[in-house]
A and B are shown apart, each in its own frame.
Chain A
C-alpha cells in the first residue's frame, strides 16, 4: 500500500433536505482529500453537517435528504453515481462507518459475534462456512481487544458501552475497508473508555494502514487523533489544516472561538470565552460568510459574497476574507483569554453546613449493585461543589436524592436543618421549604421544558405554585429572563423555537424563580455546543456571584469542573474515592482512579 496515494476526494459537495416544500441546504460546498493511511478529523458543532457529509460519502443519507451537487471519488471512481446494489458493495468492503452511540448501533436481538459473521459471509469472494465465519469473528473480536469468548455470544444489552463500541468497530472492520469513518465514536462513552476507544482506533488504523475520517465536535479529540483537521461551520468548511498547526494558531475566527471556548484542563480561566449567539441554518447565511453574524471582525465585505477556502499558508486553508488583516488581533485575543485566574478562596464553612449528607445509600430495586454505596458529603452555603466520576458511578443518583426525585435506601440528608431523606414523609410546609431551597438543572436541554408551554407560561406557573403574587408575576418573568440573558420577546416562544443554549437558560431562569440556595446541576452543559457551553458556564459563575448560590455541579468533564467549583468529590462505583479543593485534586490526584480519569483527557498527539 502506497502511503501517499490519494484515496478519497470530495469536491463541491452540496447536501440538501429536498422532501419539504422548500429545499433546505444542509451542507454546502465541501472539499475533502484523504490519502491512504491518513487520518483526518472533521470538527464542528452540532448541526454543522459533519454527519451528513460522511453519510453522503458512504451513500447513506436519510430519506428526504439528497446530494444536489458535487462529487465524491474513491480511488478515482465516482461514488455518487453508483446504483443501489453497487453502493451496497462499496459499503463495508471499501468504506465503512461507525456511529456515535454504542447503545443503539448494534441490533438488540442479535448476538455480538453475529454482527461480524454476517459481514464476513456477505463479502464478495469465496463464501465462508458457518464455523469458519465463527472462528474468524473470534479473531476479529480479539483484534479490538475482546478476548473473552463468552462475550461473543452475548447480546449487546449485556455489554458495557465500551465493549459494544469495540464490537461495532470489529463489525465495521469485518469487510476490511480501506476507509473507516468514525462518527463521534467516543462521545457517548465515559472519559476513561473514551480514551481507550480513541487509542484503539488509532492503533487499528495504523496497523491496517487504513484511511480514517474522525468526526468529532471536540477539538482536543481531533488534535489527538488526526493528521489534518477540517473545521465545519453551518454546513460549510471554514478552515483546513494540519492538526498541530491549527492547534498552534487557528486561521479562522470560528476555529479560534472554538478553541477558546474549550475550557482549559490545566487551570482555572479568568473568564470563559464563548461565541455569542448560536449556529445559523446554512440557508440563513447563504451568499455570505457563514460565521459573519457571530464574528467580532465582521465587515461589509464578509456578507457580500461567500468567501471561498483560500490557501493562506502551505497546506493551510481558511475561508476568512480578512484573515491576513486580523491574524495579529486573533493572536492577542488568544493569549489574553488564556490568563489564569486566582485559585478560589475556600468558602467559610459555618458550624453547620447547608447540606450534609451522611452514609447515603441507594439501591435500585432489582439492581445487583448499589447505585450509591456509601457517600458522605457536605456543602456550605454559597459553595460550589463538583461531583466527577465515570458513567454509572452514581453522580446523577446523588443529585436526584438531594432534590427528592429519588428516595435513598439508607443514610441521611439534611438541607438547611430539615431532614430531606424522604420527601414523601415531610410535611407540606417542610417540603415547600426544601423545594424553594434546592433546585435542579438537567442535562438535556431539549426535554427540560414542556414543549407545549411557552416560556412565559412555564415561568409564571412556577411563580404561581410557589405563591408568588399574581399581579407581579409578569414583571418577575421579565426580570428572570433578563437575568439569564434572554430577550424579553422570548416569553411567548415555545421551546421548539429556542436553541439548546437558550433552553438551558430558560431552565435556569425557572429554578431561579423560586430563589433557591442550592442548584444541583446535572451535566448542564454536556449536551451543548462548546461555544455555547462557555456562555452557560459563565452564567453559572455570574449567578453564583450575584445570588451567593451554592452548586452541586455534576459532570464527567474535568475541564468544566475546574472552571466552576471550589471543591470536588470523585465518585467511583457509588463511593467517594477522593475529595478536596478542585485545583489540588486535579493537579495532584491522590487516588489512582482520579489519576486515571485525568490521564484519559484527550491531548494532542504532539
Chain B
C-alpha cells in the first residue's frame, strides 16, 4: 500500500486566478444577504397590516356584531363598545394608533378576550411551535428516506407505490386526514388522546403525537417527491458514477454523495413546508382541539377580532420570512458554493 514510485510529474501551470478561501467571502455574503432579506420585513409589515386593516374595516360585520353574539342589544350598548375600542376614529387614525403601538411592542388588546394580543399569541406558541417542528421532523424523517428508497427502486413497483402514496397524502385535505387519524388511531385503537394539548412534557408529547403525525404525513408527500426527484437527478451525475468507479460502497455513495447533494433542494423545500404546515396546522389544530395559533386565527376571523387578526397576520408573515432566511442560511452551510456567484433564492 502506498508505495508510490517516484516519477517525473508534469506540473500544472500556475492558476490564473485562484479562488479565495471560503471563510471571509461567504460570511460577508451571507450577512449582506440576510440584511437584504430582513429589509423586506418593513414593507411587508406595512403592506400586510394596511391590507389587514383595510379589509377588516371595509368588511361589513366586524367586531361589534361578533361581540354581541346575537344577544339583545341597543344603540347605547353599541355606542359604549365602539367608544371602548375607539372604533369611531377614522381608519387612518386607528391604524396610526395601532402601528405606533406595534412599534413599541404593544399589539393592542383583543376585542373578544380583552387580553393583550401579544400574550395571546405567545401563549399559543408552545403548542404551535412543537406541533410544527414535530410535523416537519416527521415529514423530513419519513419523506427523505422514502424518497431515497423510491429513487433507488426507480420505475419499479415499490417506487410507483411510494410515489402514489405520497401524492395521496398530499391530496388528502389535512382536516380529513386528521379526522381519519382521530377516528382510527385515537378512537378505535385508543392509542392517542382525542383532544387538547396535554400538560407537562409527557402529556404534551402524548397529545401532540397524533396531530404532528397528521401534519407530518401531509407534508411528507412534498418532501418525498422532492427527495426522489433530487436523488434521481443525482444518480445521473458523473460524480456518483465516479464514486462507484472508485469502489465506494453503495450506502456510502447514496448517503454521502447522492443524498448529500440532493439535500440542497430538499432543504429549500423544508422551508416551504414550514409555511405549508402553518396552514395545515390551522385545520389540524381545529380538529384536535389544540390551543395553537391556528385555532386562534380561525376564532379571530370568525369573531371579526381585528386587533388579533392584524397581530396574527403580521406575526405569521414575519415568522415565514424568518424561516426562509433561516433556510437560506442552512442552505449556505450545506452548499459550499453559496456566496461564489451561485445565487440562492
Direct contact of A and B (CB under 8 A): yes
Q: Tell whether, in the assembled complex, residue B246 and residue A119 are in contact, meaning their CB atoms are under 8 Å apart.
A: yes
Q: How far is the CB of B15 from chain A (nearest CB, A)?
A: 6
Q: Tell whether, in the assembled complex, residue A143 and residue B9 are in contact, meaning their CB atoms are under 8 Å apart.
A: yes
* A125 contacts B by Cβ under 8 Å: yes
A89 to B260, CA, bound (A): 23
Q: Could you tell me which residues of chain A, from 188 to 240, have a CB within 8 Å of some CB in chain B? A: 192-193, 196, 199-200, 203-204, 206-208
With beta carbons under 8 angstroms apart, the residue of B4, B7, B245 that contacts A172 is B245
Q: Tell whether, in the assembled complex, residue B4 and residue A91 are in contact, meaning their CB atoms are under 8 Å apart.
A: no
Q: Could you tell me which residues of chain A, from 142 to 191, have a CB within 8 Å of some CB in chain B? A: 142-146, 150, 154-155, 157-160, 162-163, 166, 168, 171-172, 174-176
Q: Tell whether, in the assembled complex, residue B335 and residue A119 are in contact, meaning their CB atoms are under 8 Å apart.
A: no
* B237 contacts A by Cβ under 8 Å: yes
Q: Could you tell me which residues of chain B, from 1 to 37, have a CB within 8 Å of some CB in chain A? A: 1-2, 4-13, 15-19, 21-22
**Chain B residue contacts of A119, Cβ below 8 A:** 246-248
Known contacts A107-B256, A122-B246, A122-B252, then 5 further A-B pairs from the complex at CB < 8 Å, ordered by chain A residue: A105-B239, A109-B335, A145-B10, A158-B19, A203-B8
A18 to B300, CA, bound (A): 61
A423 to B27, CA, bound (A): 38
* B184 contacts A by Cβ under 8 Å: no
* A369 contacts B by Cβ under 8 Å: yes
13 contacting pairs across A/B (C-beta < 8 A): A91-B244, A91-B246, A91-B247, A98-B245, A99-B238, A107-B243, A108-B239, A109-B261, A122-B252, A139-B4, A196-B13, A203-B10, A208-B5
A193 to B239, CA, bound (A): 21
Given contacts A104-B239, A109-B334, A157-B19, contact A171 B10 (CB under 8 A): no
Q: Tell whether, in the assembled complex, residue B257 and residue A107 are in contact, meaning their CB atoms are under 8 Å apart.
A: yes
**Which chain B residue shows the least CB distance to A116?**
B246
Counting chain A CB atoms within 10 Å of each CB, which of B15, B154, B239 scores highest? B239
**Chain A residue contacts of B54, Cβ below 8 A:** none
A142 to B9, CA, bound (A): 9
* A316 contacts B by Cβ under 8 Å: no
The 8 closest A-B pairs by CB, nearest first: A92-B247, A207-B7, A91-B247, A158-B19, A97-B245, A104-B238, A207-B5, A92-B246
**Chain A residue contacts of B18, Cβ below 8 A:** 158
Q: Could you tell me which residues of chain A, from 101 to 118, have a CB within 8 Å of some CB in chain B? A: 101, 104-110, 118
With beta carbons under 8 angstroms apart, the residue of B13, B15, B242, B261 that contacts A108 is B261
**Chain A residue contacts of B8, Cβ below 8 A:** 203
Counting chain A CB atoms within 10 Å of each CB, which of B7, B9, B18, B340 scores highest? B9
**Which chain B residue shows the least CB distance to A122?**
B248
**Chain B residue contacts of A155, Cβ below 8 A:** 22, 336-337
With beta carbons under 8 angstroms apart, the residue of A19, A97, A203, A208 that contacts B9 is A203
A123 to B8, CA, bound (A): 27
* A60 contacts B by Cβ under 8 Å: yes
**Chain B residue contacts of A123, Cβ below 8 A:** 1, 247
Q: How far is the CB of B272 from chain A (nearest CB, A)?
A: 21
* A88 contacts B by Cβ under 8 Å: yes
* B241 contacts A by Cβ under 8 Å: yes
**Chain A residue contacts of B13, Cβ below 8 A:** 162, 192-193, 196
With beta carbons under 8 angstroms apart, the residue of B6, B17, B260 that contacts A368 is B17
**Which chain A residue shows the least CB distance to B3?**
A176
A253 to B217, CA, bound (A): 63
* A392 contacts B by Cβ under 8 Å: yes
* A345 contacts B by Cβ under 8 Å: no
A99 to B17, CA, bound (A): 25
Given contacts A140-B4, A200-B10, A207-B6, contact A105 B17 (CB under 8 A): no
**Chain B residue contacts of A162, Cβ below 8 A:** 12-13
A118 to B243, CA, bound (A): 10
**Which chain A residue shows the least CB distance to B18?**
A158
**Chain B residue contacts of A163, Cβ below 8 A:** 12, 15
Q: How far is the CB of A145 from chain B (nearest CB, A)?
A: 4
**Which chain B residue shows the least CB distance to A111?**
B336
A139 to B11, CA, bound (A): 15
**Chain B residue contacts of A392, Cβ below 8 A:** 16
* B60 contacts A by Cβ under 8 Å: no
Q: Tell whether, in the assembled complex, residue B16 and residue A107 are in contact, meaning their CB atoms are under 8 Å apart.
A: no
* A63 contacts B by Cβ under 8 Å: yes
With beta carbons under 8 angstroms apart, the residue of B6, B7, B247, B341 that contacts A96 is B247
* B43 contacts A by Cβ under 8 Å: no
* B250 contacts A by Cβ under 8 Å: yes
**Chain A residue contacts of B336, Cβ below 8 A:** 108-109, 155, 157
Q: Tell whether, in the assembled complex, residue B245 and residue A91 are in contact, meaning their CB atoms are under 8 Å apart.
A: yes
**Chain B residue contacts of A366, Cβ below 8 A:** 341
* A491 contacts B by Cβ under 8 Å: no
* A93 contacts B by Cβ under 8 Å: yes
Proximity bits, A366-398, B CB within 8 Å = 1, else 0: 101100000000000000000000001000000
Q: How many residues on B have C-beta within 8 angstroms of the other chain's C-beta atoms?
A: 47
Q: How far is the CB of B158 from chain A (nearest CB, A)?
A: 15
A166 to B16, CA, bound (A): 17
Q: How far is the CB of A366 from chain B (nearest CB, A)?
A: 6
**Chain B residue contacts of A99, Cβ below 8 A:** 238, 241-242, 245
A206 to B7, CA, bound (A): 8
* B249 contacts A by Cβ under 8 Å: yes
A154 to B133, CA, bound (A): 35
Q: Tell whether, in the assembled complex, residue B260 and residue A107 are in contact, meaning their CB atoms are under 8 Å apart.
A: yes
**Which chain A residue shows the least CB distance to B336?**
A155
Q: Tell whether, in the assembled complex, residue A175 and residue B246 are in contact, meaning their CB atoms are under 8 Å apart.
A: yes
Counting chain B CB atoms within 10 Å of each CB, which of A100, A110, A206 scores highest? A110
Counting chain B CB atoms within 10 Å of each CB, which of A85, A100, A125, A160 scores highest? A160
Proximity bits, A397-421, B CB within 8 Å = 1, else 0: 0000000000000000000000000
**Which chain A residue shows the least CB distance to B2?**
A136
**Which chain A residue shows the least CB distance to B15?**
A160
With beta carbons under 8 angstroms apart, the residue of A154, A159, A203 that contacts B7 is A203
**Chain B residue contacts of A104, Cβ below 8 A:** 237-239
A145 to B260, CA, bound (A): 29
Q: How far is the CB of A70 from chain B (nearest CB, A)?
A: 20
Proximity bits, A284-318, B CB within 8 Å = 1, else 0: 00000000000000000000000000000000000
**Chain B residue contacts of A63, Cβ below 8 A:** 154-155, 235
Q: How far is the CB of B331 from chain A (nearest CB, A)?
A: 12
* A90 contacts B by Cβ under 8 Å: yes
**Chain A residue contacts of B246, Cβ below 8 A:** 91-92, 96, 119, 122, 171-172, 174-175
**Chain A residue contacts of B257, Cβ below 8 A:** 107
Q: Could you tell me which residues of chain A, from 30 to 84, have a CB within 8 Å of some CB in chain B? A: 55, 58, 60, 63, 84
Q: Tell whether, in the assembled complex, residue A196 and residue B12 are in contact, meaning their CB atoms are under 8 Å apart.
A: yes
**Chain A residue contacts of B9, Cβ below 8 A:** 142-145, 200, 203
Q: Tell whether, in the assembled complex, residue B7 and residue A204 are in contact, meaning their CB atoms are under 8 Å apart.
A: yes
A98 to B244, CA, bound (A): 11
Given contacts A143-B9, A369-B16, contact A98 B252 (CB under 8 A): no
Given contacts A101-B238, A146-B12, contact A108 B337 (CB under 8 A): yes
With beta carbons under 8 angstroms apart, the residue of B16, B19, B245, B260 that contacts A60 is B245
* A573 contacts B by Cβ under 8 Å: yes
**Chain B residue contacts of A98, Cβ below 8 A:** 242, 245
Given contacts A92-B246, A96-B247, A143-B9, contact A107 B261 (CB under 8 A): yes
**Chain B residue contacts of A90, Cβ below 8 A:** 247
Counting chain A CB atoms within 10 Å of each CB, which of B252, B334, B337 scores highest? B337
**Chain A residue contacts of B22, Cβ below 8 A:** 155
Counting chain B CB atoms within 10 Å of each CB, which of A89, A122, A369 scores highest? A122
Q: How far is the CB of B2 from chain A (nearest CB, A)?
A: 6
Given contacts A139-B4, A166-B12, A208-B5, contact A92 B248 (CB under 8 A): yes
Counting chain A CB atoms within 10 Å of each CB, which of B4, B17, B249, B250 scores highest? B4
Q: Tell whether, in the assembled complex, residue A118 and residue B16 are in contact, meaning their CB atoms are under 8 Å apart.
A: no
